[in-house]
Structure formats: structure tokens, C-alpha cells
Amino acid sequence: MFDRLKEWINRKLTGPDAHHDLQHLPAPKVAGDQPLEDLRLIVLDLETTGLNPAKDQVIAIGAVAINRERIPLRDQFDLVLKRPELDISETVLIHGIGPEALVKGHEIEDALLYLLEWMNGDPILAFHSAFDQKFLEKTLKQTLGYTQSHTWMDVADLLPAMFPKAKPPEGRLDNWADHFGLEVSERHHAAADAMATAELTLIALNRARKSDVHTLAQLQDKLRYYHRLKTFSRH
């Protein structure tokens, strides 16, 4: 990833588009009749200085691409951002990212532009996606002035929607990984959590096909139906 990012930065600095033009970034793709088996999906996980998007900041981005229902090992994103000014004393024991890593991290603007190009406008999935979506959209707006909306889906909802009889305790990422016998190499590490979430997503997509869900629009309909049931059950 580091070498690919360096090559991309050099190309931007020396090519005709040396000045970054947000208008020429890939446009977010709208959910429609795209077959799930042909899709490239982005599974994202962020490490932050806290849980409040209003005051906390993103310090690391991990992402894994699912392409045609496979996880290409070279199609991944794993970067610590250069943010030496941040106080991470209260969260360093959780994510393991210390002050030295933030000093040596990648320039935020370059990393975010590369992320947007790498994502190519593809739909984004995350475990409890509202958290990652709020943080990423805030960071993109503050750093780049970027405000386009991507298609987001929550794997924390996708799994119970596809496996309604599965009742892992608390429904956390670890619980679902244990339920399916997956090994998470390192928790609270963006790339490792993204990989675990991607593996769970593949399991859910496999069940989706068996449930006659074959397109991105149908998958979103399934999630909306699950949300209605969940809301109804609370009343």
C-alpha cells in the first residue's frame, strides 16, 4: 500500500492534473440492478481519538475490497494519518497507535484523495456503519471540501437480516466472528477489523443469494425490511 500511495502521489505531482480536482474523482454509484456477484464493495473501518464525531478525529483507515465475492489480498487500504497535534493519551491503549505513528503518518489530504480514487465510488460497508460514515464524511468535508454521498450499508444489520435465527450475545463484531468460527487477527486495528467485517460480509452475501437476493437494490430492500421489523419489535 505504501509504495502504491507513493507512486500515486508522484503521478499527481508530476502529471497534468498536479492540482487535485475534486470534480474528476469517481462518482459514487447508486444502488440499482447491479448483480451482487459482479460487484466491487468496500469494507471500511476507522480508528479514531474517541466516539464523538463532533470533536474526535480519524487517525487510521483500514479498508478491504470485495470483488466478485472474493477478497483480493492486494486490493486493500491501510494507513495511519499524519496528525501529531492530536492527544491520543486516552485511547492509545485501545487502538495501539502512539504519538510516533501519528508523526510518521501519511499526509491527510493525499491519503484521503487516494482513498476516494481507490474506492472508485463503490458501495461502502462497515460494522455499525453510522459511526464510520459520520467520521469519514466529516473528515472529507473538513479536509477536502468533499460532500458527495456514497451508498453505505451496515454489516451489523446485514448479518441478523440474513441470519434471523442466529443470536450471538450482544451482536458485536467479535460475537459474530465467533459465531461463524472466524479468527480476528488483531482487534481495534483498522485493517484487521475491516478484514473480519469483509469475511462476515461474504458469508452474508452467500446467504443472500440463497434467499433470492441477487442485486444491490434487493439487498438494500432486505435491509430496509429488517429495519422496519426491528423498529416494530421495539413498540
Residue 95: predicted pLDDT: 73
134-153 residue pLDDT tens: 999 999 999 999 999 999 99
Q: Which has the minimum average pLDDT: 63-67, 87-91, 227-231?
A: 87-91
The confidence score (pLDDT) of residue 99 equals 87
Q: How far is CA 108 from CA 2, 81, 102, 103, 113, in A?
A: 14, 6, 11, 12, 9
Query: In this predicted model, what pLDDT tens digit does every residue of 150-174 receive, in sequence order?
Result: 999 999 999 999 999 998 988 899 9
Q: What is the pLDDT of residue 93?
A: 54
Domains of the chain as residue ranges with CATH: 2-16+35-154+174-234 (3.30.420.10)
> Given a cut of 80, is residue 104 above it in pLDDT?
yes
Quick check: 205 pLDDT over 70? yes
- Condensed to tens digits (0 to 9), the pLDDT of residues 10-62 reads 565 444 444 456 778 999 999 999 999 999 999 999 999 999 999 999 999 99
Q: How far apart are the first and last CA of the chain?
A: 48
- 215 CB-near residues (< 8 Å, 6+ apart): 32, 33, 34, 35, 36
Q: What is the pLDDT of residue 19?
A: 45
pTM above 0.75, yes or no: yes
